[in-house]
Structure 1
Amino acid sequence: MSYLAIKHLHLSCVVLSGLGFALRATWMWRASPLLQHPLARRLPHIIDSLLLGSALTLAWLSGQYPFVEGWLTAKVLGLLVYIGCGTIALKRGRTPSIRRHFVLLAGLSYAYIVGVALTRQPAIFF
């Protein structure tokens, strides 16, 4: 598979991951039973696995690695924040208020990751 094909897979998964999170957050706010549908529970893991796999492949093919390149390090750290906030937003938040706050924080971390990817600058908001 070519670098360009893997990059397109990665970018598609980025969009699908963000849209999927937004959709599941909307379902959570509305207490929709769709949130418990098997596809809604499994598909995000498949998309995110493809996203991570394509990211690792792109790093290997380009010779740019986290903890060597500052912008990739920022993306990895942003990803950890996104995962943590997303987990609290959709599963572990005890109250609706906590969940709403963490949906917002997850959205901001997603925007940060995309911004860093586009600019290759870790301090995009400063």
Structure 2
Amino acid sequence: MDYSALKHSHIGLAYLSILLFIIRFALFKFKPAFKSNKVLKILPHIIDTFLLIFAIWLCVMIGQYPLTDHWLTGKVLGLVGYIAFGIIAIKQGKNWAFVAALISFAYIFGAAKSHSALSFFSQFG
């Protein structure tokens, strides 16, 4: 797969991942019966697995790595926060965790767009 196709696949999976997270949170919050839906339990893991595989593949392809390139380190730390807050939001239905997960995703998105660990704040410097 060439760089452009890989990058766009990664971006598309990221959008799909956050969209599914928002839908799952809303469904689980307002229709708890959906928590037992197998598709809603398995599909996010499949999407996120491919998202991570493509992210690693992109790192290798462009020769930039976390702990070496600060913007990628920021993305990884943001991802850890997104996962932690997402688990709390989905499993416990906590609104604050849902908002924190969305903020974490926005930070990851900003770091990816700006190639800066400062994310969106790098444009103010």
Shared fold (TM-score, shorter chain, > 0.5): yes
The residue that corresponds to 2:80 in the other structure is 80
**Corresponding residue pairs, total:** 121
Query: 1:54, CA displacement in angstroms?
Result: 0.1
| Match in the other structure for 1:41 | 41
* 2:113 maps to 1:118: yes
Q: CA RMSD in A?
A: 1.2
What is the distance in 1 between the residues matched to 2:27 and 2:35? 6
TM-score (norm 2): 0.91
- Higher mean alpha-carbon deviation, 60-69 vs 33-42, is at 33-42
Match of 1:25 in 2: 25
Distance 1:125 1:117 in 2: 10
Secondary structure, counterpart of 2:119 in structure 1: coil
> TM-score, normalization: structure 1?
0.91
Report how far residue 51 of structure 1 moved.
0.3
**Whole-angstrom CA distance in 2 between matches of 1:30 and 1:59:** 39
1:108 and 2:103 equivalent? yes
Segment of structure 1 superposing worse, 81-90 or 31-40: 31-40
Letter in 1 for 2:40: A
**Identity fraction in percent:** 40
How big is the shift at 1:35?
3.2
Provide structure 2 residue ranges, at least 5 long, that are not aligned to the other structure. Answer: none
Q: CA deviation at 1:124?
A: 3.0
Contact 2:108/2:119 (8 A) holds in 1: no
Deviation of the 1:37 alpha carbon? 1.1
Unaligned runs of 5+ in 1: none
Q: For the residues of structure 1 that align with 2:119 and 2:12, how far apart are their CA atoms?
A: 23
Q: Deviations over 1:66-110 (max 9, x none)?
A: 00000000000000000000001111x3xx5xx111001001000
Most deviating of 72-81 and 21-30:
21-30
